[in-house]
A and B are shown apart, each in its own frame.
Chain A
């Protein structure tokens, strides 16, 4: 009788142990399905295969950087939104709102400087600026006071809407 009881206990023990083992092994792989969930985060970073950050969504975003250092954009210049970085980690574009004045910006940058800016101010004025070097620029905008379109070539500015503003 004792022998039978002992066998039963050993068999039950073996079953429980195997069960626990299967549970532990299976628990190592967890697949979370959050496709129907809402994520609430302070930031998201997309990196490439070498670990370089290529896309950042954040609030606030990190300060701007250039060839191996961060540069200064002024006090209270914090922005939130999306930033794109090229394959060398250089900041090349941003779609952001600032935390002080209340502008919303979309910028496109070369490796060294900002080349295009599309900005809407909180009171309604909107500007699109495109720069080249050597004083070449197109500035297009509209506000409650009226529209403007100026073109600068080698620093010489022409207002294409109001002739009287043109430089002689």
Chain B
């Protein structure tokens, strides 16, 4: 009898506790970011396959013509910039709190962390041929690493203090963006040359050493051969799609430029107007306007053979362009 009372009591306790409603509030974080926006894009193959990073730390493999995307990594951090090491199948990413991370290209597993001095970096540049990786943090400290020598830090000449590394050429020259000049550091010879009279941010350098620079709404093309700026241009209008009328109107205003690349014959620029423009590199003439991005283009990448361009935007769209 005593046992049956205990059993009944136990059953009552189990029923009571399991029926008791538990209410919990899902906790969130104040991030102030758009989780669908892409922050960077790089090629993972010669053509058609890219890696795209999102603000909320995801890295996806995206293949041209295929729907969906394959998640490679999900970092508990924000990812701002990315480069891909073809030979080692490694992804190197710049993050907010985790400094620079080297990830496995297949599994997304973190292989190593590269430390920064004081603050985060949002730009990474890499040349696999010469094995040089460079970046700068938001407090203006520059970094150049020799990837082939276990990411050993290279000493930057003191004359380049305050200048930011933004490009590495095939011959190992690191291009530093200064206040009104570009410094080209050939680190093997420890020789620095200077391009003076430069206004704007260095965006790209082509095989001949010509430079593309942005200054707010304007871009400039510097010719190495003639040592001058061949032309300065803006996007001539602001194409705005009116959904109600299914038409695009062209407002005669130029908006800020965000990213761009140089190819052998052309310049491609992307701006706040959501367009990609193709320009003739010799004359500066506007050849074509591409208008398929629903959001502001945040990054572009050029395939190795310069036959394809890929662009990503802040609304989570990826577009491949056969050039």
A binds B: yes
On whether the beta carbons of A88 and B78 are closer than 8 Å, the reply is no
On whether the beta carbons of B19 and A68 are closer than 8 Å, the reply is no
On whether the beta carbons of B314 and A69 are closer than 8 Å, the reply is no
On whether the beta carbons of A68 and B55 are closer than 8 Å, the reply is yes
A62 at the interface (CB under 8 A from B): yes
A71 at the interface (CB under 8 A from B): yes
Contacts A20-B15, A70-B120 known; A89 to B139 CB distance under 8 Å? no
Residues in chain A near residue B256, CB distance under 8 A:
111-112
How distant is the Cα of A64 from the Cα of B122 in the complex, in angstroms? Answer: 13
Interface digits, B237-274 against A, CB 8 Å rule (1 contact, 0 not)? 00000000000000000011010000000000000100
On whether the beta carbons of B298 and A85 are closer than 8 Å, the reply is no
Q: Give the residue name and chain of the B residue nearest to A59 (CB).
A: B30
In B17-51, which residues have CB < 8 Å from any A CB? 19, 21, 23, 28, 30-40
Residues in chain A near residue B15, CB distance under 8 A:
20
Interface digits, B180-217 against A, CB 8 Å rule (1 contact, 0 not)? 00000000000000000000000000000000000011
How distant is the Cα of A32 from the Cα of B28 in the complex, in angstroms? Answer: 19
Q: Give the residue name and chain of the B residue nearest to A71 (CB).
A: B138
Residues in chain B near residue A90, CB distance under 8 A:
34, 296, 314
Residues in chain B near residue A24, CB distance under 8 A:
19
Task: Report B97 CB to chain A, min CB distance, Å.
Answer: 10
Residues in chain A near residue B258, CB distance under 8 A:
67
Interface size class of A (residues with CB under 8 A): 35 or more
Residues in chain B near residue A64, CB distance under 8 A:
32
Interface size class of B (residues with CB under 8 A): 35 or more
On whether the beta carbons of B272 and A112 are closer than 8 Å, the reply is yes
How distant is the Cα of A48 from the Cα of B303 in the complex, in angstroms? Answer: 35
B295 at the interface (CB under 8 A from A): yes
On whether the beta carbons of B37 and A68 are closer than 8 Å, the reply is yes
On whether the beta carbons of B31 and A62 are closer than 8 Å, the reply is yes
How distant is the Cα of A56 from the Cα of B300 in the complex, in angstroms? Answer: 30
How distant is the Cα of A68 from the Cα of B256 in the complex, in angstroms? Answer: 15
Interface digits, B47-79 against A, CB 8 Å rule (1 contact, 0 not)? 000000001000000000000000000000010
Q: Give the residue name and chain of the A residue nearest to B314 (CB).
A: A88
Q: Give the residue name and chain of the A residue nearest to B81 (CB).
A: A69
Interface digits, A47-82 against B, CB 8 Å rule (1 contact, 0 not)? 000111100101001111101111110000000000
On whether the beta carbons of A43 and B296 are closer than 8 Å, the reply is no
Residues in chain B near residue A71, CB distance under 8 A:
122, 138
On whether the beta carbons of A45 and B138 are closer than 8 Å, the reply is no
How distant is the Cα of A65 from the Cα of B216 in the complex, in angstroms? Answer: 17
Contacts A52-B35, A89-B37 known; A133 to B216 CB distance under 8 Å? yes
How distant is the Cα of A30 from the Cα of B28 in the complex, in angstroms? Answer: 21
A37 at the interface (CB under 8 A from B): no
B80 at the interface (CB under 8 A from A): yes
Residues in chain B near residue A88, CB distance under 8 A:
34, 37, 295-296, 314-315
Interface centre among B39, B120, B122 (most CB of A within 10 A): B122
Residues in chain A near residue B216, CB distance under 8 A:
112, 133
B96 at the interface (CB under 8 A from A): yes
Contacts A52-B34, A83-B32, A89-B33 known; A20 to B19 CB distance under 8 Å? yes
Q: Give the residue name and chain of the A residue nearest to B21 (CB).
A: A27
Task: Report B286 CB to chain A, min CB distance, Å.
Answer: 22
On whether the beta carbons of B30 and A58 are closer than 8 Å, the reply is yes
Residues in chain B near residue A45, CB distance under 8 A:
28, 30
List 9 A-B pairs, minimum CB-CB distance, nearest first: A89-B34, A68-B39, A69-B122, A72-B138, A62-B32, A69-B80, A88-B314, A43-B30, A58-B30
Other A-B pairs, 17, CB within 8 Å; known A23-B19, A68-B40, A133-B217: A27-B19, A32-B23, A51-B36, A52-B34, A53-B32, A53-B33, A56-B32, A58-B30, A61-B30, A64-B32, A67-B296, A69-B78, A70-B80, A83-B32, A89-B55, A112-B216, A133-B216
Q: Could you list 28 examples of A-B contacts with CB < 8 Å?
A: A23-B19, A27-B19, A27-B21, A30-B21, A32-B23, A43-B28, A43-B30, A53-B34, A58-B30, A62-B31, A68-B39, A68-B55, A68-B314, A69-B81, A70-B80, A70-B96, A72-B119, A85-B34, A88-B37, A88-B295, A88-B296, A88-B314, A89-B55, A89-B314, A90-B34, A111-B255, A112-B272, A133-B216
